[in-house]
Chains A and B, each alone.
Chain A
Amino acid sequence: MIKALQQTAIRRDLRLRQVKVMLAAVMIAVATVATINLFAGHLQQTLLQSASSFLAADRQLITRSTQPVAEQWQQAASEMGLKTSEISQFSTMLSAGGAFQLTSVKAVDGDYPLRGEIEWQSGLQAPRQMLQQGPASGEIWLNPRLLGLLDIAIGEQVTIGETELTVSGLLLREPDSSFNFSAFAPRAMMHFVDVAATNVIQPGSRVRHKLLLAGDENLLNDFENTVQPAIDSGDYRWRDARDGDTIGESLNKAENFLLLGGSLAVLLAVVAIAVASREYALQQRDTVALLKTLGLTSSAIRRLYATRLLLWGVLATLAGLLIAVPFAWFLSAMTAQLMAQPLEFSLQIWTLWPALLTALLVLFAFALPPIDRLRKTPAMQVLRSLPQLDKGFLVKDSVVSGLLVFGLLWLFAGELKLVLSLLAGLSVLMVVLLVFGWLFVSSVRSFKGGSTAWRSAIVALHRHKRATLSQLAVFAMTMMLAATLVLVRSSLLADWQAQLPEDAPNHFLVNIAPETVDDVDTFLSSEQLQRSPLYPMVRGRLTAINDQPAKEVALNPDDDELRRELNLTAAASYPDDNKIIAGQWFSEGDNEGLSIEQSLAESLGVTLGDKLGFTAGSDTFSARVTSIRSVQWDNMQPNFYIMFPENGAIKDLPTTYLSSFYLDPVDKSVLNDFILQFPTVSVLEIDHIIERIQDIIQQVTQAVEAILLLILLAALAVMVAVVSATMSERQREGALLRTLGAQQSLLVKATMLEFALIGLVAGILGVLAAEVTVWALQYRMFGGEFRWHWPVLIIMPLLSSILLSLLGRWQLRPVLTVSPMLLLRRLE
């Protein structure tokens, strides 16, 4: 039909400021969501692969009984095309000559490890090597400590059960070693096929079998589904690289952050789109009235504008995707380089659907309603300016779009509570804003003194009360969202940094006999190494609660902590990152009482004042709970379920000590000397784990920062949209003032001052709201306490003030560069 309108106007209207803002916002929303989706997929893949080395596989299927993993599952996995490896772990005595030593043996097949590497030495003084295979059949690798304990050398034979194996090397580190002080017995590694000949595994032996699996993510999921019944029946446990531990935590937090960021970017874009589209609709009223006068029906007008919007939307969406793909590729390339992994970036079209859904929703829920109402413009408008029927967003629209945004956020953040708290925060902010905003515009007149520019700015603020209020609301919201993100990012990073500072102890010394403590200290200080406090350790079982057998009265009698020996310790003070959540820590000189970890207390159903009884060797002792602590298990520091006062119940029991120190990777050879000198002390090397985690954290940090950049761009788009929305009025006034003889500098100063004031107030309100939101979010997602973030509190309002005054100045440009005559004619 109306070709000129459909083709030419679509193209020409693109030059309109409002249309540009609207499309830029759609573009940013699409680009952000698409980047996050594309990159998060890749990031997850890379991180999982990296985390997989901690399992020596992508997944583990672990038996709960002492039976080996059933043949059918191995077969099923192989048939699906997954790589598999079978391992068994058990404790047994090794002997050589006359010496015996309890050893924790890991038997591995020829495919072990599926992921990661084994660190190995051919002799105590030999260089360390990274291997991708375990010992051959007939051979055994020993922890260096075992050489000393059994008093043998490389190449000699050790007896294990009914067979003899040749010691062919030293096992320094296996990829899937658990970071657990209860793994006390030193480790030895042998080949899986030799296990049967040892005859050490008898019915009732404590043995754990694992099937390691690696391969394509989809295949792994398929296999998980296949094996699910066996997992559900309790025969097996399924382990994923993201389960528990620091890495899983970091990954989850980062993903939460990315999604939260994405939702905020969409929210910001939605505000920009709503403002710009309303502005565009206002601008189009005369056109619509004329078209009606010329005989266009309202349905034709609706079609006309819907087509236009659709076309623009498609364009903006494509542009957004065009930005997202290279951006995501760039981020992926960066992370791949950082993790020293090959770049495997594939563009999967289906991962783009959330971006497309976003485009569709923001366009049709926010851009369309005001434009669609254009068809109701009275034709009489063509003859005279009529009161505006379009009051922006109507109640119905607000409800519909509110629900849609809610749905979208829910979809992205995947967590109902998060979305609800975000939206609740925003609603509270709106109410507070209206109150404070009203107070601001009402009281602003009383600051009337000062220069002419100041007075004009104040008068303008007061005169445009409504506009001032809505600007204030939008800017404060923008500031709040941006500040929330900045704050969450810094607390997320600080959280991670605090968890693993650069010089976090990366080597643990376990099993230090009391009489060797001084020698160990001398050794460490001669190497200029700083050790952390010594903790005495007594291995004991929790056997009684309030003089009743613990297994009978515990809330959860199957608790693992009731079945195994716990590491009991005594200390004058608790570790820095523990928190006392009930009761009181021991005072000096206390010799009664104990402190228990929170989750264990909950699982046992133990509260303050309860009496716990323990058995250690032949000794029994008991103490009452005097405090309950929360413990950061994922911080790679010594942590304990049960702590006694220094002169408490375990004071006189036979004990060994635990300590830790930081060793620079280049000084690794110090360990050889240490092991030679102290053969009975176990050295737990966790430097690789820590390094890996630090890598991952750095990588996630970069991702988080890149996304933050996109979101700040969205915030900027909102600001431009809102400032330009009120600009035609301002331009008219400016032109009039210039005609009446106002100087350019006065106009500039007054406008900049006006916006600076709005920016300042909005900044302050926004940042305050952000503090509250961050506190609430942290509480839920990241775990943390409320504290003021002074730098942000000061910088954000100033930044918003400067940014807005510059935006105002920029928008005033047409008024300043053209003669007042021309201006008035243009603005007619």
Chain B
Amino acid sequence: MSIDRPTKNTDDCMIDIQSVNHQVTPGGQPLQILQDVTLQIQRGQSAAIVGRSGSGKTTLLGLMAGLDVPSSGAIYLDGEQINCLSEDERARLRAARVGFVFQSFQLLPSLTALENVLLPLELAGIDHARQRAVDLLQQVGLASRVNHTPRQLSGGEQQRVAIARAFAVTPRVLFADEPTGNLDSQTGAEITDLLMTLNKQQGTTLVMVTHDDQLAARCDRQFHIDAGRVQTQ
């Protein structure tokens, strides 16, 4: 199954960022997080955003995903200028086209693995959601743990559930924030493989923030970010 929606333009660009500046004022002092960032990521590409702690990687990821809006500049996601949309409009866009994987997994502790995966499916109003969720959990190797709550799962298993959740609605673009950051290298490698495999299978655009050079090297493109400025490699 796939989700088909008309888009405003039909070029190959999934993410288009034009001269984005972002500044915050924690405690009254203005702090420049991003400076004049311009970059494009094509459909189906995988891109890694790398850089030191505090360089602005996560902020950039959040802006691309429409979790926040930049102080200035324009951001197009899947052809829509998301910095002009309201919060709710951005939420609706995410529900249909965007998936997430987080460093700290971000599963709802009160729901089982299956219910966590069901969440975005039910949000998008997809038929046969339950079967699809079970299939996905099977695909990530958790067929036997569908009714376990996050507390009863190891870190690797939790991240697998999060990946199943992220791919449940066949998103056009998947954002991953340090997906292996909380895992040992062995488990990290398994999770990376899973991400890449599903990404290829579904033709999803993948954008991830990472410290892991090996993981970054497996992506089509790398963006280095330093003190809020981006250098493409």
Q: Which residues of A contact B (CB under 8 A)?
A: 1-5, 8-9, 12-13, 286-287, 290-299, 378-380, 382-384, 387, 826, 828
For the residues of A in contact with B, the DSSP-based class is helix
Q: Which of B73-93 contact A (CB under 8 A)?
A: 87-88, 91-93
What residue in chain A is nearest B98 (Cβ atoms)?
A295
Task: Assess A295 versus B62: contact at CB under 8 Å? Given A4-B119, A380-B67.
Answer: no
What residue in chain B is nearest A301 (Cβ atoms)?
B91
In the complex, what residues of B have CB within 8 A of residue A387's CB? 26
B16 sits at the interface (CB 8 A): no
Bound complex: CA A293 to CA B66 (Å): 9
Of the A-B pairs whose beta carbons lie under 8 Å apart in the complex, a sample of 22, sorted by A's number, is A1-B122, A1-B123, A4-B119, A13-B110, A286-B106, A293-B65, A293-B94, A294-B119, A294-B123, A295-B91, A295-B93, A295-B123, A297-B88, A298-B88, A298-B91, A378-B68, A379-B66, A379-B67, A379-B87, A382-B67, A383-B177, A384-B58
For the residues of B in contact with A, the DSSP-based class is helix
In the complex, what residues of A have CB within 8 A of residue B115's CB? 4, 8
CB pair B106 A8 closer than 8 Å: no
In the complex, what residues of B have CB within 8 A of residue A12's CB? 110-111
CB pair B118 A4 closer than 8 Å: yes
Chain A proximity of B136: nearest CB distance (Å): 15
Task: Assess A2 versus B123: contact at CB under 8 Å? Given A287-B108, A379-B68.
Answer: yes
In the complex, what residues of B have CB within 8 A of residue A293's CB? 65, 67, 94, 100, 106
Task: Assess A380 versus B62: contact at CB under 8 Å? Given A4-B115, A290-B108, A294-B95.
Answer: yes
How many positions in chain B have a CB within 8 Å of any CB in the partner chain?
Answer: 36
Bound complex: CA A8 to CA B91 (Å): 23
Bound complex: CA A382 to CA B116 (Å): 16
- 7 nearest A-B residue pairs (beta carbon): A295-B95, A12-B110, A4-B115, A379-B67, A297-B88, A295-B94, A380-B68
Partner of A5, one of B96, B112, B119, B151: B119
Bound complex: CA A5 to CA B104 (Å): 20
B227 sits at the interface (CB 8 A): no
B120 sits at the interface (CB 8 A): yes
In the complex, what residues of A have CB within 8 A of residue B219's CB? none
Chain B proximity of A688: nearest CB distance (Å): 65
Chain A proximity of B55: nearest CB distance (Å): 14
In the complex, what residues of A have CB within 8 A of residue B65's CB? 293
Chain A proximity of B172: nearest CB distance (Å): 13
Q: Which residues of B contact A (CB under 8 A)?
A: 26, 58, 61-62, 65-68, 87-88, 91-96, 98, 100, 102, 104, 106, 108, 110-112, 115-116, 118-120, 122-125, 151, 177
Chain B proximity of A10: nearest CB distance (Å): 9
In the complex, what residues of B have CB within 8 A of residue A290's CB? 106, 108
What residue in chain B is nearest A378 (Cβ atoms)?
B68
Bound complex: CA A427 to CA B100 (Å): 49
Bound complex: CA A287 to CA B62 (Å): 17
In the complex, what residues of A have CB within 8 A of residue B67's CB? 292-293, 378-380, 382-383
In the complex, what residues of B have CB within 8 A of residue A384's CB? 58
CB pair B102 A295 closer than 8 Å: no
Chain B proximity of A223: nearest CB distance (Å): 61
In the complex, what residues of A have CB within 8 A of residue B123's CB? 1-2, 294-296
Bound complex: CA A384 to CA B62 (Å): 10
In the complex, what residues of B have CB within 8 A of residue A5's CB? 108, 111, 119
In the complex, what residues of A have CB within 8 A of residue B96's CB? 295
CB pair B95 A296 closer than 8 Å: yes
Chain B proximity of A422: nearest CB distance (Å): 40
CB pair B106 A296 closer than 8 Å: no
In the complex, what residues of A have CB within 8 A of residue B87's CB? 292, 297-298, 379
CB pair A9 B111 closer than 8 Å: yes
Task: Assess A382 versus B93: contact at CB under 8 Å? Given A4-B119, A299-B88.
Answer: no
In the complex, what residues of A have CB within 8 A of residue B119's CB? 2, 4-5, 291, 294
In the complex, what residues of B have CB within 8 A of residue A828's CB? 104
Bound complex: CA A378 to CA B58 (Å): 15
Partner of A383, one of B88, B92, B102, B112: B102
In the complex, what residues of A have CB within 8 A of residue B68's CB? 378-380
What residue in chain B is nearest A16 (Cβ atoms)?
B110
In the complex, what residues of A have CB within 8 A of residue B177's CB? 383
Chain A proximity of B199: nearest CB distance (Å): 19
What residue in chain B is nearest A376 (Cβ atoms)?
B87
Bound complex: CA A379 to CA B98 (Å): 14
In the complex, what residues of A have CB within 8 A of residue B118's CB? 3-4
Partner of B111, one of A4, A294, A295, A296: A4
Bound complex: CA A383 to CA B67 (Å): 9
In the complex, what residues of A have CB within 8 A of residue B26's CB? 387
In the complex, what residues of A have CB within 8 A of residue B98's CB? 295
What residue in chain B is nearest A387 (Cβ atoms)?
B26
In the complex, what residues of A have CB within 8 A of residue B151's CB? 826
In the complex, what residues of A have CB within 8 A of residue B92's CB? 295, 297
In the complex, what residues of B have CB within 8 A of residue A13's CB? 110
What residue in chain B is nearest A6 (Cβ atoms)?
B122
Chain A proximity of B27: nearest CB distance (Å): 9
In the complex, what residues of B have CB within 8 A of residue A382's CB? 67, 100, 102, 106
What residue in chain B is nearest A828 (Cβ atoms)?
B104
In the complex, what residues of A have CB within 8 A of residue B102's CB? 382-383
What residue in chain A is nearest B155 (Cβ atoms)?
A825
Bound complex: CA A828 to CA B182 (Å): 12
User: 12 new A-B pairs (CB below 8 Å) besides A2-B122, A12-B111, A292-B91?
Assistant: A2-B119, A3-B118, A4-B119, A9-B111, A12-B110, A292-B87, A294-B94, A294-B123, A296-B123, A383-B61, A383-B62, A387-B26
Bound complex: CA A684 to CA B94 (Å): 90
CB pair A4 B122 closer than 8 Å: yes
In the complex, what residues of B have CB within 8 A of residue A294's CB? 94-95, 100, 119-120, 123
Chain A proximity of B233: nearest CB distance (Å): 24
What residue in chain A is nearest B129 (Cβ atoms)?
A3
CB pair B110 A9 closer than 8 Å: yes
Bound complex: CA A403 to CA B119 (Å): 40
